[in-house]
Structure 1
Amino acid sequence: MPKWKLTTEFTFDSAHYIRDYNGPCGRLHGHTYKVRLEVISRQLHPSEYCPHPVMVADFKTLRWAKRDATKGGLDHGVLNEILPPEYDTTAEAIAQYIYHETKRRLPEGVELKVAVSETPNSWVEYEED
């Protein structure tokens, strides 16, 4: 059976603070977040932008978080004001949020893994079984 694995990366700039953190991360500050999405499917699909089943997922759909915060993305926003209250703004929680928001945009049965970096040397990955 065929299997396709699609990988895409993008960045967005946002500010945040970690609630009740005793240190500099508890104050408002910003990052250029780097996001890597890995998407696996055993079949090809149409997308919002193309009616033919020719892709695992549309890159435009996958990069929704790169859009400006005023247009439904995360770029140039304050994450504490954008993410729902059940999410904190640690890299772990941001990865989980991006996973859930991306997953709902994907066809049924498509596997997803999200990696988020706040700094060049620190990454977190999130996926669900």
Structure 2
Amino acid sequence: MRLCREFYFDSSHFLPNYKGKCETMHGHTYKLEIVVEGEIGNDGMVMDFHKIGDVVEKEVIDKIDHKILNDIIENPTAENIIVWVRGMLDGKLPLYSIKLWEGKGKWAELVCR
């Protein structure tokens, strides 16, 4: 069984060694989807949605919301942000996948299992 929580954060970044609009500082409202996987326990849940939220807020959102991503991730492409998110959550949640939306209609996804 899989569960998904969505999170939103606003951050700015630029892409080094890139020619085009993204080479200068700009911002996005990102949508982050965290999918966990597991068996239904005796309590009838795979995991409490609040626990997923607490972990993601503490380990990810609090560190990147309203921040300059280049101060945290050297080359903050959507792909590299997802790799960073996985590193922050690895071992803390039973991750199935991570999807990051960089505005409307543009996303990257990492299947973790």
Q: Superposed, which structure 2 residues align to 1:1-129 within 5 Å?
A: 4-42=1-39, 44=41, 56=47, 58=51, 59-64=53-58, 65-67=60-62, 73-83=63-73, 85=74, 88-106=75-93, 110-129=94-113
Counterpart code for 1:34 = K
- Say which SS state the counterpart of residue 9 (structure 2) adopts: strand
State, as a whole percentage, how many aligned pairs show the same letter: 28
Higher relative contact order (CA 8 A, sep 6+): 2
Mark the runs of 5 or more structure 1 residues left unpaired by the alignment. 45-51, 68-72
Q: Distance in 1 between matches of 2:14 and 2:33?
A: 22
Counterpart code for 2:68 = V
- Say which SS state the counterpart of residue 20 (structure 1) adopts: coil
- Provide, for residues 46-104 of structure 1, a one-character-per-residue CA deviation record: whole Å limited to 9, x for no partner: xxxxxx9x65261211333222xxxxx21011111012x4xx21111111111221123
Q: Distance in 2 between matches of 1:22 and 1:56?
A: 43
Counterpart code for 2:24 = R
The ranges of structure 1 where at least 4 consecutive aligned residues each deviate by more than 4 angstroms after the TM superposition are: none
Mark the runs of 5 or more structure 2 residues left unpaired by the alignment. none
Counterpart code for 2:29 = T
Q: Give the alignment's TM-score, normalised by structure 1.
A: 0.73
Instruction: Quote the offset at 1:43 in angstroms.
Output: 5.7
Contact 1:10 1:34 in 2 (8 A): yes
